Amino acid sequence: MEVSVTVNGTGRSADVEPRTLLVHYLRDDLGLTGTNIGCDTSSCGACTVLVDGRSAKSCTLLAAQVDGAEVTTIEGLATADGLHPMQQAFHECHALQCGYCTPGMVMAAVSLVDEYDDLDAAGVRVGLEGNLCRCTGYQNIVRAVLAASE
């Protein structure tokens, strides 16, 4: 079936099997491999993208379900002027090591900061509960998200 989405501001479409997951559609059909896969039980958040502005785990959605939607992936955050403020904060706070969780973590954080006005550390920790990182112990991720929320 034909699935059309606006990804990072550009209209894209591809002919896919109806069972194709959004994350595979993005990675394998559109070649946007920045969005990662870390599990098969929707537990890790590595695949987080924005669908119509809100964070979603792209491994829990079928590509068909987002037909016509606006999707933002990690590739859509930085501009010609440089990194998105959340990416910059992750860089400055050393909030990544291997970087595998990072695209999903950054997208979840962008959505979290967008949704809540006065986030504190506890709020960030609970807000990012669905995104696992094995490297950083989260301390610098929390710092980065707070820095970017200011």
Partner 1 sequence: MTDTMSPFAGGIVGTPRLRKEDPPLLTGESKFIDDLQLPGALWISLVRSPHAHARIDAIDASAALAVDGVVAVYTGADLEGDWAGPLPCAWPVTDDMKNPAHLPLAVGKANFAGDAVAVVVATSRYAAADGVEGVVVDYEPLEAVVDVRDAASDRLVIHEDCGTNVAYDWELTPDPDGVAAAFQDAVHHVTETYVHQRLIPAPMETRGVAVVPAPHNGDMTLYSSTQIPHVLKVMASLTLGVPEQKLRVVAPSVGGGFGCKLNVYAEELVCMTLANRHGVPVRWTETRTEASTATIQGRAQRQTIELAADADGKLTGVRATLLADMGAYLQLVGPGVPLLGAFLYHGLYDVPVYSFTCRSVFTNLTPTDAYRGAGRPEATYAIERAMDSLAVAVGVGQDEIRSRNFIPTEKFPYDSPAGLIFDSGNYQPTLDRAKELVDWDGRRAEQAERRATGSTMHLGLGISSYVEMCGLAPSRTLAALNYGAGGWESATVRILPTCKVQVVTGATPHGQGHETSWSMIVADRLGVDPDDVEVLHSDTAISPLGMDTYGSRSLSVGGTALWMATDKVVEKARAIAAHMLEASAEDLEFAGGTFTVKGSPDKEVPLAGVAFGAFTAHDLPDGMEPNLEAQVTWDPGNFVFPFGTHIAVVEVDEETGAVELVDYAAVDDCGNQINPMIVEGQLHGGIVQGVAQALWEEAIYDADGQLRSANLADYLVPSAAECIDMKLDHTVTPSPTNPMGVKGIGEAGTIASTPAVMNAVVDALRPMGITDVRMPASPMTVRRAIEAAGGAS
Region 122-141 residues binding partner 1, contact defined as CB under 8 A:
124-126, 128-141
Q: Does 1 bind partner 1 (CB under 8 A)?
A: no
Cα separation, 20 vs 34, in Å, equals 18
Of the listed pieces 50-58, 61-69, 119-127, which binds partner 1 according to CB under 8 A?
Answer: 119-127
**Residues contacting residue 26 through CB under 8 Å, at least 6 positions apart:** 7, 32, 35, 49, 58, 71, 73
Is the CB of residue 95 less than 8 Å from the CB of residue 133?
no
The single residue among 7, 22, 106, 110 that binds partner 1, judged by CB under 8 A, is 106
- Three-state SS for 124? helix
Q: Which residues pair with 56 in a beta bridge?
A: 49
CA distance 133 to 87: 16
Binding residues (CB under 6 A) for ligand FES: these are: 37-39, 42-47, 57, 59, 96-102, 133-136
Choose between 57 and 143: whose C-beta lies nearer to ligand FES: 57
**Which member of 103, 111, 113, 146 binds partner 1 (CB under 8 A)?**
103
- By C-beta, is 10 or 45 nearer to ligand FES? 45
Question: Applying CB under 8 A, does 148 fall inside the site for partner 1?
Answer: no
